[in-house]
């Protein structure tokens, strides 16, 4: 974790294959997470409780449950549309989303846009 800049917290992690990836989260979420880590010297989420919570949220909001990876699909599709709307070509938008997802190749990201 590295601090908050312009209302965005940045968390640095290792993605698949050890590739470094920067995640941007809200400043509030970042500060809450930093507080928990400072108090407990760690941060842990129960995977079972997490899956149960998102499944319940999907049911409550009358959405199909696709696990948390569904969030990644939705984010990729929304981000692609935003890049196109901002004037990027389809290839540029695909590369931008690929970078955001931590993929090394845009052809992997195309799978998320179907």
Token pair for 110: 């195309």
Report whether 97 contacts 91 (CB < 8 A).
Answer: no
Token pair for 52: 């149960």
* Total count of domains within the chain: 2
Owning domain of residue 62: 48-114
38 and 71 fall within a common domain: no
Give me the residue label for tokens 């890049």: 83
Task: Write down the pLDDT at residue 1.
Answer: 44
Token pair for 29: 């979420």
Where do runs of H (alpha helix) occur along the chain?
A: 27-40, 47-60, 69-85, 90-101, 106-110
105 and 55 fall within a common domain: yes
Task: Write down the pLDDT at residue 27.
Answer: 85
56 and 108 fall within a common domain: yes
Averaged over successive runs of 10 residues, the pLDDT of the chain (114 residues) comes to 59 76 84 90 87 92 84 89 96 93 85 86
Task: Write down the pLDDT at residue 71.
Answer: 83
pTM: 0.64
20 and 58 fall within a common domain: no
3-state SS class at 6: coil
Task: Write down the pLDDT at residue 25.
Answer: 84
Task: Write down the pLDDT at residue 5.
Answer: 53
């Amino acid at each position: 974790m590295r601090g908050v800049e312009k209302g965005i917290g940045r968390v640095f992690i290792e993605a698949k294959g050890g590739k470094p990836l920067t995640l941007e989260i809200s400043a509030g979420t970042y500060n809450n997470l930093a507080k928990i880590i400072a108090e407990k010297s760690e941060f842990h989420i129960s995977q079972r409780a997490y899956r149960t919570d998102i499944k319940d949220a999907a049911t409550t909001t009358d959405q199909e449950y696709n696990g948390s990876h569904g969030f990644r699909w939705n984010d990729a599709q929304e981000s692609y549309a935003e890049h196109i709307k901002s004037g990027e070509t389809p290839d540029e938008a695909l590369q931008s989303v690929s970078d955001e997802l931590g993929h090394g190749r845009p052809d992997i990201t195309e799978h998320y846009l179907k």
